[in-house]
């Protein structure tokens, strides 16, 4: 939460309706309570007044009955004594007893006191009552034997009633006020709780819980805000940072270590940024740096270099020193795109370019990259149809036993004959196929085709010969055993004539599950080789645990052999390590006799490379196998390979 206050880019939050709603609720319920109370008070007033009128009428009737004789006999004294009983009612101000001619016979109280008010007092000729102002006028006819002999007029005050009702109203207002204050305090407390919860939700909505950086949603909002506020006059830049091989760290050291690495990396990134720049975690191992007011080649390079500096020193996680590498793509507004989505896409394209350049580098977006990306998208779409249209085929490259100088097997390598682009090499489409998942279907096709082919070679008199097939990490995740069983069963090939090549990178990606799966294959008799060895993160400890029987030294370490240098030393170390672990070792990409001699001399078992043959059509392999019918080395002199028909060789 503290982070948010320091954040130079304030996250724009939705306007809070809650506060206003709560206030409106408290005020309106207070008002409703008050209105209900007042209505009730009105009702109380009316019913009290009704009761009072009833009471007065009753008293008037009793007094009239009691004075009828006095009126009849014109006895004012007796009449006055009877009227005096009205004193019992405090509301009665005075009363006049008239005879039939309207003459006052007796009187209770002093009408003069109230004269100004009662001057207009209605003198009725009928029994009944009238209310005017705070007075009630009651008239009761005095009757004797059914004949009217006079009338009694009582004037009463509503004052006490009004006072009572006023007290009621005051109580109502007071009670409402107390209830209102109570509700208000309660509402403030609830509001505070809701505010805290809302703040937490805001945090979760805009911040990444692992690193505390702003998240993808906040990034989109901020990019849009920068575009809106800066217009096209002032530029800014985006750096998309994707950690290379993060998944390996996660899988080998566990998720807690993975999270710690992300946290420490985020802190590093912030440390190396300019104060005005903001870092976001978009998810997984993807980060974004937003650098306002930045444009031009120099500052962009500086930005990329600063981000790279963040990765220079290894990061310590749970006792391990981890060297984090990242691929970064930089895009600029408004040069590369003028809307948020296209800008992020441009940075993504640049990042993809950085990855394809061998990772751990940064690339500034260039419009040509967009074209490449489009080409990739097109290939991706076409690849889905390639299998159906029968555009894929396999070529085979011999693997030579260095002692006997004979071909012991071949590696099956995939080729795509694109109807418009011509021959497309696996380097251009395997990664795409892995991303889209189509590699699973393609891999299945490769396994079936290679197994059928090796069975055909076995049937033509070369039973010990094997075919090595490359499989991708995604295929392994799908369950390799089922795919291989099906390929072996449908082709009838011997399991021992099949070898699986898994790159070191794929191997360590999900080591636990890979070990289990490969053990099943070994049990079948299928060979397992680790491809491109030396480029991944394998340690000796891992190698010992893996159910494998072969290592293929990556071409990069073979290239500079035999000149003295690190690569030669690594190649030799791999050879001696393989021997001590009892693994067969193959040198890949042997192009010169000097390389061949070097590996031969140091005890490397096999070699593969253009020195012997480029990957060729199966017919050319069959022809080579024919030469195996004769005893002795097939490759006494490497140059004899020229005998492979030129038509079946790849032009590459």
SS3 418: strand
N-term to C-term CA, the chain: 59
Residues 495 and 488: their CA atoms lie apart, in Å, by 7
By the rule CB under 6 A, 299 interacts with ligand C2E: no
CB closer to ligand C2E, 300 vs 414: 414
CA distances from 635 to 1, 396, 401, 472, 490 (A): 72, 17, 10, 32, 34
Secondary element (H or E) of residue 232: none
**Enclosing H/E stretch for 387:** none
Q: How far is the CB of 196 from Mg ion (least distance, A)?
A: 57
Specify the stretch interacting with ligand C2E by CB under 6 A; choose among 318-326, 518-526, 584-592, 636-644.
Answer: 584-592
| Window 392-411: residues binding ligand C2E (CB under 6 A) | 397
Distance of alpha carbon 376 from alpha carbon 194, whole angstroms: 50
Residue 650 CB, shortest distance to Mg ion, in Å, is: 16
As a 3-state breakdown, the chain gives helix, strand, coil percent values, each rounded to 5, of 55, 20, 25
Q: Which positions from 542 to 581 touch Mg ion by CB under 5 A, shown as an x/- string?
A: ----------------------------------------
Which residue has 């005051």 as its token pair? 170
Q: Is the peptide bond before 638 cis (omega within 30 degrees of 0)?
A: no
**Bond from prior residue into 334 cis (ω within 30 degrees of 0):** yes
Per CB under 6 A, the segment of 328-336, 351-359, 468-476, 627-635 that binds ligand C2E is 468-476
Burial class (CB in 10 A: 0-12, 13-18, 19+), 68: buried
By CB under 6 A, tell whether 596 contacts ligand C2E.
no
Q: Is 67 or 397 the residue whose CB approaches Mg ion more closely?
A: 397
CA distance 565 to 576: 17
β 236-244/325-333 pair status: antiparallel
Structure tokens at 503: 């790159």
User: Least distance (Å) from ligand C2E to the CB of residue 415?
Assistant: 8
Point out which span in 42-50, 230-238, 333-341, 587-595 binds ligand C2E (CB under 6 A).
Answer: 587-595
The least CB distance from residue 299 to ligand C2E, in Å, is: 38
Smaller CB distance to ligand C2E: residue 221 or 600? 600
Minimum Å gap between C-beta 550 and ligand C2E is: 12
422 binds ligand C2E (CB under 6 A): no
Stretch in the footprint of Mg ion (CB under 5 A) among 3-11, 125-133, 394-402, 496-504: 496-504
Binding segment for ligand C2E among 168-176, 183-191, 355-363, 423-431 (CB under 6 A)? Answer: 423-431
- Look at residue 82 and give the partner it binds from ligand C2E, Mg ion, none, a contact being a CB closer than 5 to 8 Å depending on partner kind: none
Q: Which residues contact 470 (CB under 8 A, 6 or more apart)?
A: 411, 412, 413, 414, 446, 501, 502, 503, 531
Query: Taking the C-alpha atoms of 474, 480, 483 and 485 in order, what is their torsion angle to the nearest 10 degrees?
Result: 170
The residue range among 132-140, 279-287, 422-430, 511-519 that interacts with ligand C2E, by the rule CB under 6 A, is: 422-430
Distance from C-alpha of 511 to C-alpha of 251, rounded to nearest angstrom: 8
Per CB under 5 A, 532 contacts Mg ion: yes
CA distance 475 to 469: 12
**CA 1 to CA 199: how far, in whole Å?**
8
Our CB check for ligand C2E shows the closer of 542 and 610 to be 610
- Select from 41, 96, 504, 531 the one that contacts Mg ion (CB under 5 A): 531
Residue 292 binding target from Mg ion, ligand C2E, none, CB below 5 to 8 Å by type: none
Least Å distance between CB 446 and ligand C2E? 4
Q: Of 288 and 488, which has the nearer Cβ to ligand C2E?
A: 488
Residue 646 per-residue DSSP state: G
* Residue 609 contact, options ligand C2E, Mg ion, none, Cβ 5-8 Å cut-off depending on partner type: ligand C2E
* 476, interface contact from ligand C2E, Mg ion, none, CB < 5-8 Å by kind: none
Nearer to Mg ion, 348 or 532 (CB): 532
CB of 506 to ligand C2E, least distance (A): 9
Quick note: the x/- pattern for Mg ion over 434-473, rule CB under 5 A, is: ------------------------------------x---
Alpha carbon of 523 to those of 268, 447, 481, 495: distances in Å?
47, 18, 11, 10
Strand partners, 132: 135
527 DSSP β-pair partners: 499
Of 114-122, 147-155, 331-339, 588-596, the segment contacting Mg ion by CB under 5 A is 588-596
- Report the alpha-carbon distance of residue 472 to residue 506 in Å, rounded: 7
Residue closer to ligand C2E, measured from CB, 293 or 481: 481
Whole-number Å distance between alpha carbons of 208 and 282: 8
Torsion over CA: 470, 473, 478, 481 (sign): positive
CB nearer ligand C2E, residue 137 or residue 466: 466
Placement of tokens 């409703």 in the chain: 32
In the complex, what is the shortest distance from the CB of residue 470 to Mg ion, in angstroms, rounded to a whole number?
4
Q: Residues 600-619: x/- map of binding to ligand C2E (CB under 6 A)?
A: --------xxx----x----
Cα torsion for 154, 158, 160, 165, to the nearest 10°? 150
Q: Is 499 in the site for Mg ion (CB under 5 A)?
A: no
Q: Does 425 bind ligand C2E (CB under 6 A)?
A: yes
Q: How far is the CB of 413 from ligand C2E (least distance, A)?
A: 4
Give the residue, chosen from 501, 509, 567, 605, that forms a contact with Mg ion under the rule CB under 5 A: 501
Report what 242 binds from Mg ion, ligand C2E, none; CB cut-off 5-8 Å by kind: none
How buried is residue 305: exposed, middle or buried, by Cβ count under 10 Å (0-12/13-18/19+)?
Answer: exposed
Q: What is the C-alpha to C-alpha distance for residues 460 and 245, in angstroms, rounded to an integer?
A: 45
506 binds ligand C2E (CB under 6 A): no
Task: Provide the minimum distance between the beta carbon of 551 and ligand C2E in the complex, in angstroms, as a whole number.
Answer: 12
Strands 92-99 and 550-553: unpaired
Number of Cβ within 10 Å of residue 87's Cβ equals: 10
Cβ-based nearer residue to ligand C2E, 288 or 590: 590
Least distance to ligand C2E from the beta carbon of 554, Å? Answer: 7
CB of 394 to ligand C2E, least distance (A): 7
Contact 22, 187 (CB under 8 A): yes
Beta-strand ranges (E) seen in 359-511 are: 362-364, 392-401, 406-418, 422-424, 466-470, 498-503
Question: Of 430, 451, 500, 606, which lies in the binding site for ligand C2E, with binding defined by CB under 6 A?
Answer: 430
- Sites of contact with ligand C2E (CB under 6 A): 397, 413-414, 425-427, 430, 443, 446, 470-472, 501, 531-532, 555, 588-591, 608-610, 615
- Sites of contact with Mg ion (CB under 5 A): 470, 501, 531-532, 588
């Amino acid at each position: 939460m503290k982070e948010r206050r320091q954040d130079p880019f304030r996250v724009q939050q939705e306007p809070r309706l809650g506060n206003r709603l709560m206030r409106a609720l408290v005020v309106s319920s207070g008002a409703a309570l008050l209105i209900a109370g007042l209505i009730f008070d009105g009702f109380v007033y009316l019913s009290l007044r009704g009761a009072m009128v009833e009471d007065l009428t009753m008293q008037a009737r009793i007094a009239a009955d009691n004075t009828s004789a006095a009126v009849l006999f014109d006895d004012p004294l007796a009449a006055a004594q009877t009227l005096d009983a009205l004193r019992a009612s405090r509301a009665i101000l005075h009363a006049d007893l008239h005879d039939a001619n309207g003459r006052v016979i007796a009187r209770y109280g002093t009408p003069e006191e109230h004269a100004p008010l009662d001057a207009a007092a209605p003198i009725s000729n009928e029994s009944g009552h009238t209310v005017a102002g705070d007075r009630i006028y009651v008239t009761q006819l005095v009757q004797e034997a059914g004949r009217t002999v006079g009338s009694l007029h009582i004037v009463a005050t509503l004052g006490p009633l009004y006072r009572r009702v006023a007290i009621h109203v005051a109580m109502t207002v007071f009670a409402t006020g107390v209830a209102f204050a109570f509700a208000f305090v309660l509402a403030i407390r609830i509001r505070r709780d809701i505010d805290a919860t809302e703040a937490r939700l805001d945090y979760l909505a805009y911040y990444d819980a692992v690193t505390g950086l702003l998240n993808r949603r906040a990034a989109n909002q901020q990019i849009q805000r920068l575009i809106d506020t800066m217009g096209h006059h002032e530029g800014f830049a985006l750096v998309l940072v994707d950690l290379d091989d993060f998944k390996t760290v996660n899988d080998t050291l566990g998720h807690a270590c993975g999270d710690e690495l992300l946290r420490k990396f985020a802190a590093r990134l912030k440390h190396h940024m300019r104060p005005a720049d903001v870092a976001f975690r978009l998810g997984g191992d993807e980060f974004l740096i937003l650098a306002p007011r930045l444009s031009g080649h120099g500052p962009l390079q500086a930005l990329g270099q600063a981000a790279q500096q963040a990765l220079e020193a290894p990061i310590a996680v749970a006792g391990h020193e981890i060297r984090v590498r990242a691929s970064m793509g930089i895009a600029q507004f408004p040069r590369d795109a003028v809307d948020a989505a296209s800008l992020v896409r441009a940075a993504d394209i640049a990042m993809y370019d950085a990855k394809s350049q061998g990772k751990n580098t940064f690339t500034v977006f260039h419009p040509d990259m967009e074209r490449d990306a489009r080409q990739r998208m097109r290939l991706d779409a076409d690849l889905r149809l390639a299998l159906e249209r029968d555009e894929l085929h396999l070529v085979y490259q011999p693997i030579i036993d260095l002692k006997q100088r004979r071909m012991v097997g071949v590696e099956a390598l995939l080729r795509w004959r694109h109807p418009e682009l011509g021959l497309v090499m696996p380097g251009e489409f395997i990664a795409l196929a892995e991303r889209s998942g189509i590699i699973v279907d393609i891999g299945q096709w490769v396994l079936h085709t290679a197994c059928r082919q090796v069975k055909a070679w076995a049937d033509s008199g070369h039973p010990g010969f094997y075919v090595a097939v490359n499989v991708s990490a995604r295929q392994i995740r799908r369950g390799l055993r089922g795919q291989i069983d099906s390929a072996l069963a449908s082709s009838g090939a011997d399991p021992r004539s099949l070898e699986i090549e898994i790159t070191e990178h794929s191997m360590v990606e999900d080591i636990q599950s890979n070990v289990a799966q490969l053990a099943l294959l070994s049990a079948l008799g299928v060979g397992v080789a680790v491809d491109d060895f030396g480029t991944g993160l394998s340690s000796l400890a891992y190698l010992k645990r893996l159910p494998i029987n072969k290592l293929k030294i990556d071409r990069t370490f073979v290239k500079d052999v035999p000149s003295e240098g690190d690569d030669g030393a690594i190649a030799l170390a791999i050879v001696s390590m393989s021997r001590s672990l009892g693994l067969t070792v193959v040198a890949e990409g042997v192009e010169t006799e000097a390389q061949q001699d070097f590996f031969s001399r140091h005890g490397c078992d096999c070699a593969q490379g253009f020195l012997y043959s480029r990957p060729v059509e199966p017919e050319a392999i069959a022809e080579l196998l024919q030469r195996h019918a004769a005893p002795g080395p097939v490759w006494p002199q490497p140059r004899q390979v020229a005998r492979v028909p030129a038509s079946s060789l790849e032009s590459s």
